[in-house]
Amino acid sequence: MNLDSKVPEGAISEKWTKHKFNLKLVNPANKRKYDIIVVGTGLAGASAAASLAELGYNVKAFCFQDSPRRAHSIAAQGGINAAKNYQNDGDSVFRLFYDTVKGGDYRSREANVYRLAEVSVNIIDQCVAQGVPFAREYGGLLANRSFGGAQVSRTFYARGQTGQQLLLGAYGALSRQIANGKVKMYSRTEMLDLVMVDGKARGIVVRNLLTGEIESHSGHAVILATGGYGNVFFLSTNAMGSNATAAWRAHKKGALFANPCYTQIHPTCIPVSGEYQSKLTLMSESLRNDGRVWVPKKKGDDRAPKDIPENERDYYLERKYPSFGNLVPRDVASRNAKAVCDEGRGVGKTGLAVYLDFADAIKRDGESLISAKYGNLFEMYEKITGDDPYKTPMMIYPAVHYTMGGLWVDYNLMTNIPGLYSLGECNFSDHGANRLGASALMQGLADGYFVIPYTIGDYLAGISYDKIPTTHEAFKTAENQVKERVKKLISIKGTQTVDQLHKKLGRVMWDKCGMSRTEEGLKEAREEVKKIKQEFWNDVKVLGTDEELNQTLEKASRLADFIELGALMIEDALNRNESAGGHFREEYQTPEGEAKRDDENYSYVAAWGYEGDNVAEKLHKESLVFENVKLTQRSYK
Amino acid sequence: MNVTLKIWRQKNANDKGKFETYEMKDINTHMSFLELVDVLNEKLEQEGKEPVHFDHDCREGICGSCAMYINGRPHGPQKGTTACQLHMRHFKDGETIVVEPWRAKAFPVIKDLMVDRTAFDRIIQAGGYVSVNTGGVPDANEIPVPKEMADEAFNAAACIACGACVAACKNASAMLFVSAKISQLALLPQGQVEREQRAERMIAQMDAEGFGACSNTGACSAECPKDIDMANIARMNREFLKAKVGSSQIEVK
């Protein structure tokens, strides 16, 4: 298979402008002849659905939540980057581009990242115009803060609820189009298959989660904006409903899945406290602007933090990385936290935690200033743990947060299936092997507001207006397959609950394909996941029927896909004999314990093709070319 | 710790529904309330019984999905806290905890603790946004916004649309929710053009959905997990009056 990235020729700074001019346009009068399906209503999906409807296309939008406003983008806390250089601290489009490519450990596509940096500037303008209440300075201008992996202050924020405010902005824009009749919204509806006609994506099969009905929807193009697959690990910072199903079913219809093993582990989460735990909660990375990370110098030192004197504390990030200090990127901070805990210097009951201490910041700036910056985060921490971070340091530990892998897309955000697009966290393109803070919100909105409205026209202009009725054979076949699968899940009537099996999968994935991996561990994991798959299909217990609201059935259906995706993540991690960003193979590290890439052999996107059930997936490679950022060992010293 | 759960079970909208009692033993006090329900559900499933259905998603207190009365109060006894952020350490050993769905005409029950809150979406669709198309907007810093205004707009914008305000109100009024959005956009320069129309349309839709009137008892704000202020309702009333008295809009529909 030829993986054509369709990256335009010419200087990096000119590519997008030229490309936009070269893309074919659809005459405004003809736009209403095209139907577009958008699955997912987070930042990418809601902004895409709203923008495309504004242009005149007929849009059908789908989400599994009861309202598009509850998509998981709403939970993003810290902020959104933009190369505005309002702070006059030397920021520029090129610097944001450079930081992002470097932060992604040179495993993202240069041209996509440059475009992201370029349109970041418009995103802020757009959101402000929508009435997003970003933080302001006393003069009325926008405030900024800094985030991990950057030495400039380019992060725009709305307290610790930036994702919420940006999503509500996009939800407003979407609501306006729903009221205008240009978007038809289907909530509590889950996509279960992609329908292809003549090799092109022409529709989807969904399950109405309230009634259990299986329905088909036809369109001229399908956009997946369904987020990430971190819940493969069972415990993650993702919302409970976040899943891989839509993307995975598209993969089984031929869409390549790229870099599945790249999982971002976020360093500042509330540690696990017990077996009953259902999810992990992230504390914004912005906390590391003022909080200092430390552990005791001595192993097994179980004194209360206030009883450990200054000279017996190890501020290990400041010690090892003097220029970035506590603001090193997420993969570096996470690995170092794991390392000190593995040494036996972790704190708390489980020994799997480090301190994030605000005592110095409070002494320096006063409690009221710290409270104005982080008050809601401190409150949230206290609610969950019962400890007051104004009085005693927070305890944090890394957790699964964001997945950089996803469906393979070209420069137009189209997958290798004509007419199937993938936006935001659901695609692979912008983040490489690691994601810097405040860049996911940026990508979601860039794709939805400023990329897809241009690129989709180029495809639609080349196909006919003819609609394919949902009575077409391709729809019927897909519907029948979906129905059979649902019936099968209900009929197994085994002994293990969905959560029991999910926890088993999560444990294997976290232990052996998590923060660090080894060839040996991955090979063991491969066998264990195989076994879990067998157990699932022979022994899962799903109560109730398929003709009603059935949350256990929903979970079971998603877990079946997580198991298969988990197996692919393991294959991908095994294939990549190097360490890069969030993918840390213990065999490949520098003498200082940093991730050691192998640019000679692995400077490619690993795009996997489905070849059939229980058949090894086929690896396709897209070579990555770095013309504008020199490949160097990442250093944050 | 041990607790007794009395949970409302209702198969669907047409079912009459009733309370079921479940004994929960050896509960870890660090557990969240929803995790307690998870543990119960796991037990029920193992016994071959259908689990308790409830809405939940982010479990970080921000998506607004989770919604239930716990001991007669929306989201339970803890001030400014969603059900997902409520932890068992706030309950007493041996306590009986009563769990019910939201009760309001405009929020019909779907199953067990789940209710239909799409009325809120329709209210937003009536005008809870600024009408700008993508692109072609001015530079973000071209229109300065006084910090105090931006902060106050943010306080209103923090609403998560969980519906606790409606559930807490004896009239099932949605005024706290509606006023929060109207306030946010009325406070910002970007929201000015559609200000009057927005107030009129959103309030008309709120009435059409069957929400009751406000009688200023303040239960909504007291029970709001995001501490949305009653002052927003006063602001909404002013906005509505101004729109009605001095509206430049001749006819809005």
- The answer to whether residue A49 scores a pLDDT higher than 90 is yes
Place of tokens 């998870």: B38
Q: Which residue of B34, B53, B59, B197 to mutate against A (max A Cβ within 10 Å)?
A: B59
Q: Is A249 a catalytic residue?
A: no
- Starting at the earlier edge strand, list the strands of the sheet with A420-422: A183-186, A58-62, A35-39, A221-224, A420-422
Could you please report the per-residue DSSP string of A422-484?
A: E-GGGB-TTTTT---TT-HHHHHHIIIIIIHHHHHHHHHTTS--PPPPTTSHHHHHHHHHHHH
Name which of B50, B58, B111 is nearest A543 (Cβ-Cβ).
B50
Q: How many CA atoms does the CB half-sphere of A61 hold within 13 Å?
A: 34
- Cα dist from A115 to A205, A413, A511, whole Å: 33, 12, 36
Name which of B50, B134, B150 is nearest A126 (Cβ-Cβ).
B134
CB contact under 8 A, B87 and A122: no
Helices B118-125 and A162-179: angle between axes, nearest 10 degrees: 70
CB contact under 8 A, B130 and A172: yes
Collapsing DSSP to helix, strand or coil, A15 comes out as: helix
- The answer to whether residue A4 scores a pLDDT higher than 70 is yes
Whether the Cβ atoms of residue A430 and residue A113 lie closer than 8 Å to each other: yes
A524: part of which helix (H) or strand (E)? helix A519-539
Query: Sign of the CA dihedral A486, A492, A498, A502?
Result: negative
In this structure, the dihedral spanned by the alpha carbons of residues A138, A141, A145 and A149, taken in order and rounded to 10 degrees, is -160
Residues 6+ apart with CB under 8 A from A369: none
The predicted model gives A218-242 an average pLDDT of 98
Residues 6+ apart with CB under 8 A from A307: none
Residues 6+ apart with CB under 8 A from B175: B165, B206, B211, B213, B214, B220, B233, B236
Closest to A341 in 3D by CA, of A284, A271, A273: A271
- β-sheet bridge partners, residue A223: A38, A421
CB contact under 8 A, A164 and B118: no
Pairing outcome for strands A420-422 and A221-224: parallel
pLDDT for position A2: 82
What tokens appear for B246 in the block?
């001095």
The predicted model gives A27-39 an average pLDDT of 97
Could you please report the per-residue DSSP string of A558-605?
A: HHHHHHHHHHHHHHHHHH--S-BTTB-BTTSB-TTS-B---HHHH-EE
Whether the Cβ atoms of residue A149 and residue A289 lie closer than 8 Å to each other: no
- Give CA–CA dist A328/A637, Å, rounded: 9
Closest to A404 in 3D by CA, of A466, A330, A335: A330
Chains A and B form CB pairs within 8 A to the count of 214
Per-residue b/e over A419-458, b at no fewer than 16 CB within 10 Å?
A: bbbbbbbbbbbbbbbbbbbbbbbbbbbbbbbbbbbbbbbb
- Give CA–CA dist A341/A577, Å, rounded: 26
Task: Report how far Cα B143 is from the mean position of its chain's Cα atoms.
Answer: 32
Q: Kindly state the DSSP code that residue A540 receives in the 8-state scheme.
A: B
Q: How many CA atoms does the CB half-sphere of A636 hold within 13 Å?
A: 27
pLDDT for position B134: 94
Sequence-ordered strand ranges (E) for A233-364: 257-258, 263-269, 292-296, 313-314, 354-357
- The answer to whether residue A305 scores a pLDDT higher than 60 is yes
pLDDT for position A372: 85
Which residues on chain B are in Cβ contact (under 8 Å) with A158? 154, 157
Per-residue b/e over A190-217, b at no fewer than 16 CB within 10 Å?
A: bbbbbbbeeebbbbbbbbebbebebbbb
pLDDT for position A461: 97
- Banded pLDDT at B250 (limits 50, 70, 90): low
- Give CA–CA dist A299/A296, Å, rounded: 7
What tokens appear for A561 in the block?
């896909």
- The answer to whether residue A32 scores a pLDDT higher than 60 is yes
pTM over 0.90: yes
Specify the higher pLDDT residue, A297 or A376.
A297
Pairing outcome for strands B3-9 and B96-100: parallel
- Starting at the earlier edge strand, list the strands of the sheet with A313-314: A263-269, A394-403, A354-357, A292-296, A313-314
- Give CA–CA dist A475/A468, Å, rounded: 10
Reported as a single tens digit per residue, the pLDDT across A382-414 is 999 999 999 999 999 999 999 999 999 999 999
Overall size of chain B counted in residues? 253
Name which of B35, B51, B124 is nearest A175 (Cβ-Cβ).
B124
3-state secondary structure chain B: CCEEEEEEECCCCCCCCEEEEEEECCCCCCCEHHHHHHHHHHHHHHCCCCCCCCCCCCCCCCCCCCCCEECCEECCCCCCCCHHHCEHHHCCCCCEEEEECCCCCCCCEEECCEECCHHHHHHHHCCCCCCCCCCCCCCHHHCCCCHHHHHHHHHHHCCCCCCHHHHHCCCCECHHHHHHHHHHHHHCHHHCCCHHHHHHHHHHHHHHCCCECCCCCCHHHHHCCCCCCCHHHHHHHHHHHHHHHHCCCCCCC
CB contact under 8 A, B87 and A450: no
CB contact under 8 A, B63 and A72: yes
* Complex ipTM: 0.97
pLDDT for position B249: 56
Reported as a single tens digit per residue, the pLDDT across B161-194 is 999 999 999 999 999 999 999 999 999 999 999 9
- Banded pLDDT at A286 (limits 50, 70, 90): confident
In one-letter notation, the amino acid at residue B27 is: I
Closest to A546 in 3D by CA, of A245, A215, A212: A212
CB atoms within 10 A of CB A360: 11
- Give CA–CA dist A438/A450, Å, rounded: 18
Residues 6+ apart with CB under 8 A from A17: none
Smallest CA–CA distance, residue A9 to chain B, in Å, is: 25
Reported as a single tens digit per residue, the pLDDT across B7-64 is 999 999 999 999 999 999 999 999 999 999 999 999 999 999 999 999 999 999 999 9
Whether the Cβ atoms of residue A104 and residue A404 lie closer than 8 Å to each other: yes
In one-letter notation, the amino acid at residue B207 is: D
Reported as a single tens digit per residue, the pLDDT across A488-540 is 999 999 999 999 999 999 999 999 999 999 999 999 999 999 999 999 999 99
Which residues on chain B are in Cβ contact (under 8 Å) with A161? 62, 158
Task: Report the percentage of chain B scoring pLDDT > 70.
Answer: 97
pLDDT for position A633: 82
- Banded pLDDT at B247 (limits 50, 70, 90): low
Reported as a single tens digit per residue, the pLDDT across A437-451 is 899 999 999 999 999
- Give CA–CA dist A245/A346, Å, rounded: 37
Q: Kindly state the DSSP code that residue A107 receives in the 8-state scheme.
A: -
Q: How many CA atoms does the CB half-sphere of B77 hold within 13 Å?
A: 9
- Give CA–CA dist B206/B179, Å, rounded: 11
- Give CA–CA dist A107/A597, Å, rounded: 10
- Banded pLDDT at A1 (limits 50, 70, 90): confident
In this structure, the dihedral spanned by the alpha carbons of residues B20, B26, B27 and B30, taken in order and rounded to 10 degrees, is 180
Alpha helices in A32-161 (DSSP H): 43-55, 93-103, 110-129
- Banded pLDDT at A113 (limits 50, 70, 90): very high
- Give CA–CA dist A489/A537, Å, rounded: 8
Smallest CA–CA distance, residue B214 to chain A, in Å, is: 25
Query: Sign of the CA dihedral B214, B215, B221, B222?
Result: negative
Place of tokens 């294939």: A575
Q: Which residue of B27, B46, B57, B155 to mutate against A (max A Cβ within 10 Å)?
A: B57
Smallest CA–CA distance, residue B213 to chain A, in Å, is: 24
The predicted model gives B143-153 an average pLDDT of 97
- The answer to whether residue A637 scores a pLDDT higher than 90 is no
The predicted model gives A285-289 an average pLDDT of 87
Residues 6+ apart with CB under 8 A from A92: A83, A85
The predicted model gives A41-52 an average pLDDT of 98
- The answer to whether residue A327 scores a pLDDT higher than 60 is yes
- Cα dist from A205 to A41, A474, A544, B76, whole Å: 17, 10, 22, 39
Place of tokens 């936290």: A337
What tokens appear for B182 in the block?
């109207």
CB atoms within 10 A of CB A304: 8
How confident is the prediction for chain A on average, in pLDDT?
96
Q: Out of A107, A330, A576, A634, which one is annotated catalytic? A: A330
- Give CA–CA dist A415/A624, Å, rounded: 17
Q: Which residue of A20, A177, A182, A383 to mutate against B (max B Cβ within 10 Å)?
A: A383
Smallest CA–CA distance, residue B212 to chain A, in Å, is: 22
- The answer to whether residue B252 scores a pLDDT higher than 70 is no
CB contact under 8 A, A68 and B121: yes
Place of tokens 């794709």: A447
pLDDT for position A160: 84
- The answer to whether residue B251 scores a pLDDT higher than 70 is no
